[in-house]
Structure 1
Amino acid sequence: MRHGLPIARPGQVVGLLGGSFDPAHAGHVHITRQALARFGLDRVWWLVSPGNPLKPRGPAALARRMARARALMDHPRVAVTDIEAWLGTRHTARTIAGLQRLYPGTRFVWLMGADNMAQFHRWEDWREIAARVPLGVIARPGDRIAARSAVAARVLARHRVAPQDARGLGRLDPPAWAFVNVPMHAASSTAIRDGGGWGAG
């Protein structure tokens, strides 16, 4: 990293996995490794958010979430970052715009679980996000049907890439999106918090 920011060269394809990571868990690691393989990514960056505008409760302290995420996600092609705090952005569209200014020539892919695709139309400026970067959607337990029939999926239907072509997703001009089914991993941050394995702070 340079000055706390991850390094990417022009022409590289970088997957962006955003979220509160409150806390990071094995499910995040699982979908990251799957995304690297299924979407043909050079790197993945975890964007540990200062806070999620769609969630009423604030997350644990950013430093604590970053420390856990870095301890858990040990992969030479994955960087855990607090770049949203550095950019001063809370909404994905603004974060992506900021990254595209910082890294001209780098090709970004926004990664999300199928649960997020199901409510993507509620995100601020979601159409701008889809116009800026391809979307890589990864199936999670119980969310496959909801994601494929979601508002955003219907609006973007003609831009969907066949699963067998998903490895080239990052080389396509947006809008473009691919939905891939991967081996399931049921871990969730909510379950960890509810089970008392994380707590506030």
Structure 2
Amino acid sequence: MERLGHLRPGMRVGLLGGSFDPAHEGHAHITRTALTRFGLDRVVWLVSPGNPLKDRGPAPIADRIAAAKAVMQHPRVIISDYEARTGTRYTAQTVANLRRAHPGVRFVWLMGADNLRQFSQWQDWQQIMETVPIGVLARPGVRMKARCGKAARIYSTARWAASDARGLALADAPAWCFINLPMSDASSTQIRKSGRWRHGPRD
């Protein structure tokens, strides 16, 4: 069973998945906030081979891993190509594999509010919700839409108050917590379109 290094039973570990095409300060800001607000010991960036909801593939994963490591230099953050190495394509499968490989680790799935809005389109999204707590970090312009989305409506009674966020990792799923705070306006799409990401537009 494929494992991630530096994870021990009892740790509270956030999982932030995405194509990171490219990684940017917005990702780093979300990560630093998650470490503090959710009381996490580690955050793992799961750099995916590709996003099943997008038509075009991302830049080569080696380039995205290198860019992510340049953006996020933190002793408690792990940059990983776990999904590429294990052949997993969907988040539900990734979460299940990690929980089997790391019994006793308290995982929290992390996402931006824009992902919560479309969460019901993910493969086996309810399995994810019923398996691990979910920490949602707001991004500009999508806060109200995210909170009115299908997933948020169905699991409205499982929502934790932001004031209780530090205990989320110890919660039994389903449990999710929405952290509403100013976020960076940076996005991977904007960076690609600006030409600063040498692999060019992918949208």
TM range (shorter): over 0.9
Aligned counterpart, 1:131: 130
Q: Where in structure 1 do 4 or more consecutive aligned residues deviate above 2 Å?
A: 3-6
CA RMSD of aligned residues (A): 1.2
CA distance in 2 between counterparts of 1:154 and 1:85 reads 33
Aligned counterpart, 2:118: 119
For 1:51, the aligned partner's letter is: G
Give CA deviations for 1:156-199 in whole Å, capped at 9, x if unaligned: 00100011001100000100000011232100000000111113
Shift of 1:101: 1.0
Task: Name stretches of at least 5 consecutive residues in structure 1 with no aligned partner.
Answer: none
For 1:108, what is the secondary structure of its paired residue? strand
CA distance in 1 between counterparts of 2:78 and 2:141 reads 28
The TM-score normalised by the length of structure 2 is 0.95
On the 8 A contact 2:22/2:197 being kept in 1, the answer is yes
Shift of 1:72: 1.1
Aligned counterpart, 1:64: 63
Alignment size in residue pairs: 199
Aligned counterpart, 1:14: 13
CA distance in 2 between counterparts of 1:63 and 1:197 reads 18
For 1:17, what is the secondary structure of its paired residue? strand
Rate the CA distance shift 1:92–1:4 in 2: closer, same or farther, 3 A.
closer
The within-5 A match list for 1:156-167 is: 156-167=155-166
CA distance in 1 between counterparts of 2:125 and 2:23 reads 25
On the 8 A contact 1:34/1:182 being kept in 2, the answer is no
Shift of 1:31: 0.4
Aligned counterpart, 2:102: 103
The TM-score normalised by the length of structure 1 is 0.96
For 1:47, the aligned partner's letter is: L
On the 8 A contact 2:49/2:61 being kept in 1, the answer is yes
Aligned counterpart, 2:184: 185
Q: Percent identity?
A: 62
Shift of 1:151: 0.3
Task: Name stretches of at least 5 consecutive residues in structure 2 with no aligned partner.
Answer: none
CA distance in 2 between counterparts of 1:26 and 1:6 reads 25
